[in-house]
Chains A and B, each alone.
Chain A
Amino acid sequence: MAIFDLGERFLEFLTKVNIGDFRLAEELPDVDKYDIAIVEGTAITKEQKRRLKIIRKKSKILIALGACAILGGPQEIKDYRGNKSRLIRQIYPNIRGIDNPNVKSVKEMIKVDLEIPGCPINKEEFFEIINKVIKGEIPKIEQKPVCEECPRKNNMCLLLLEKPCLGAISLAGCGAPCPKSNFPCDGCRGPRKGINLNAMKKALIVKARLNEKEINFILERFGSKNEFYKYENKN
Chain B
Amino acid sequence: MKIRIDHIAKIEGHASFTADIVQGDVKAAKIKIEEGARLFEGILKGRNGEEMPEIVSRICGICPVVHNLTAFKAIEDAYGLTLDETSILLRKLMMLGQIINSHSLHLFFFSLSDFFGFKTDLQLINAYPEKTHDATKIRDIGNKIVEVVGGRSIHPLTPAVGGLRKAPDLEELKDLLSDCKNILPLTIKLGEFFVNLKYPDFHRETIFVSLTNPDEYAIYEGKIKMGERTIESKDFLAMTKEYQGQDKVAKRVKFAGKSYMVGALARLHNNQEKLNPGAKAVLEKAKIKFPLYNPFYNILAQATEVIHCFEETIKLLELITTGPIKIIEPKISNRTGEGIGAIEAPRGTLFYSIKAKDGIIENINIITPTAQNLANLEDDLEEFEHLGSFSALSKEQRTDKIKMLIRAYDPCVTCAVH
Q: How many Å lie between the Cα of A194 and that of B122 in the bound state?
A: 44
Task: Return A179 CB to nearest CB of chain B, in Å.
Answer: 9
- Determine if A24 is an interface residue (Cβ-Cβ < 8 Å): yes
Contact indicator per residue, chain A 70-112, by CB within 8 Å of chain B (1) or not (0): 0001110110010010011011111111111000000000000
Judging by beta carbons under 8 Å apart, are A119 and B55 in contact? no
Q: A198 to chain B: closest CB distance in Å?
A: 23
Residues of A contacting B35 with CB < 8 Å? 44-45
Check if B178 is an interface residue, CB within 8 A of chain A: no
Closest Cβ–Cβ distance, residue A178 to chain B (whole Å):
6
Produce 1/0 per residue, A26-48, CB < 8 A to B. 11100000000000001111011
Whether A98 lies near B152 (C-beta < 8 A) is no
Tell me, rounded to whole Å, the shortest Cβ–Cβ distance linking B17 to chain A. Answer: 13
Q: Flag whether A235 is at the interface (Cβ < 8 A).
A: no
Q: Is there contact, CB below 8 Å, between A48 and B36?
A: yes
Name the interface residues of B44-64: CB closer than 8 Å to any CB of A. Answer: 45-48, 51, 54-55, 58, 61-62
The yes or no answer to B336 lying at the interface (CB within 8 A) is: no
Query: A119 near B155 (CB under 8 angstroms)?
Result: yes
In angstroms, Cα B277 to Cα A91, docked, is 44
Task: List A residues 121-140 near B (Cβ within 8 Å).
Answer: none
Using a CB-CB cutoff of 8 Å, which residues 26-75 of chain B contact chain A? Answer: 34-43, 45-48, 51, 54-55, 58, 61-62
B194 at the binding interface (Cβ < 8 Å): no
* Complex partner residue of A92 from B7, B37, B110, B125, CB under 8 angstroms: B37
Nearest-neighbour CB distance to chain A for B176, whole angstroms, equals 16
Are B165 and A5 neighbours in the complex by a CB distance under 8 Å? Answer: no
Interface string of B130-173 (1 = CB under 8 A from A): 00110011011001000000011111011000000110000000
Check A45/B34 contact, CB under 8 A, given A23-B9, A78-B39, A181-B166: yes
Instruction: Report Cα–Cα, A77/B37, bound state, in Å.
Output: 13
Counting CB contacts under 8 A, is B105 at the interface?
A: yes
Cβ contact of B36, chosen from A23, A42, A92, cutoff 8 A:
A42
The chain B residue with its CB closest to the CB of A26 is: B120
CB distance from B139 to the nearest CB of A (A): 7
What separation, in Å, do the CA atoms of A47 and B47 have in the docked complex? 31
Question: A94 contacts B248, CB within 8 Å?
Answer: yes
Selected contact of B51 from candidates A25, A119, A177, A217, CB within 8 Å: A217
Interface size of B by CB at 8 A reads 54
Task: Looking at the assembled complex, report how far the CB atom of A89 sits from the nearest CB atom of chain B, in whole angstroms.
Answer: 9
Q: A14: which of B12, B51, B122 is its contact (CB, 8 Å)?
A: B122
- Expressed in whole angstroms, the minimum distance between the Cβ of A100 and any Cβ of chain B is 6
Q: How many residues of A contact B (CB 8 A)?
A: 53
Chain B residues with Cβ below 8 Å from A93 are 244
- Expressed in whole angstroms, the Cα–Cα distance for A43 and B132 within the complex equals 33
Bound: A28/B9 CA distance, A: 9
- Please, which residues of chain A bring their CB within 8 A of the CB of B9? 23-27
Are A73 and B58 within 8 A (Cβ)?
yes
Most chain A C-beta atoms within 10 Å of own C-beta, residue among B9, B36, B121, B247:
B36
Does chain B have a CB within 8 A of A54?
no
On whether A75 and B39 interact (CB within 8 A), knowing A11-B125, A217-B47, the answer reads yes
**A182 on the interface (CB 8 Å rule)?**
yes
CB contacts (< 8 Å) of A48 on chain B: these are: 36
Contacts of B10 in A (CB 8 A): 23-27
Whether A58 is near chain B, meaning CB under 8 Å from some CB there, is no
- In the complex, the answer to whether B248 meets A47 with C-beta atoms within 8 Å is no
Q: Which residue of A lies closest to B363 (CB)?
A: A90
B246 to chain A, nearest CB (A): 9
State the Cβ distance, A190 to closest chain B Cβ, in Å: 15
A95–B249 CA distance with the chains assembled, in angstroms: 8
A7 touches which one: B121, B122, B140 (CB < 8 A)?
B140
**Residues in A neighbouring B47, C-beta threshold 8 A:** 217
Select A88's contact among B42, B133, B244, beta carbons within 8 Å: B42
Task: Tell me whether A229 is interfacial, beta carbon within 8 Å.
Answer: no
CA distance in complex: A87, B42 (Å): 6
Contacts of A19 in B (CB 8 A): 120, 122
Q: Is the CB of A78 within 8 A of B43?
A: yes
Assuming the A-B contacts A96-B248, A119-B58, are A25 and B157 also in contact, with contact meaning beta carbons closer than 8 angstroms in the complex? no
**Complex Cα–Cα for A27 and B11 (A):** 11
Instruction: Indicate if the CB atoms of A5 and B39 lie closer than 8 Å.
Output: no
The answer to whether A1 touches B248 (Cβ under 8 A) is: no
Indicate if B331 sits at the interface (CB-CB under 8 A): no
A15 to chain B, nearest CB (A): 8
CB proximity of A124 to chain B, nearest CB, Å: 12
Nearest Cβ on chain A to B31's Cβ, whole angstroms: 15
Residues of B within 8 A of A1 (CB): 61-62, 154
Closest to B126 in A: A15
* Distance of A202 Cα from B173 Cα, bound (Å): 40
Decide if A217 touches B119 in the complex (CB within 8 Å): no
Asked if B296 CB lies within 8 Å of chain A CBs, one says no
Q: A23-B9, A98-B249, A120-B152 are in contact. Are A78 and B55 (CB under 8 A)?
A: no
Indicate whether A161 reaches chain B with its CB closer than 8 angstroms.
no
Is the C-beta of B208 less than 8 angstroms from some C-beta in chain A? no
Q: Is A57 engaged at the interface, CB distance under 8 Å to the other chain?
A: no
Q: Are A74 and B119 in contact (CB under 8 A)?
A: no
8 A/B residue pairs, CB under 8 Å, sorted by A: A8-B136, A75-B36, A75-B40, A91-B41, A92-B37, A100-B39, A180-B151, A182-B166
Since A75-B38, A98-B37, A183-B157 are in contact, a sample of 15 more A-B pairs with Cβ atoms closer than 8 Å, ordered by chain A residue number, is A4-B105, A11-B125, A14-B121, A23-B9, A24-B110, A45-B35, A74-B38, A77-B55, A84-B39, A90-B45, A92-B244, A97-B247, A120-B155, A181-B157, A182-B166
CB-based closest 8 A-B pairs: A44-B36, A181-B151, A27-B9, A26-B120, A1-B61, A181-B157, A120-B154, A87-B42
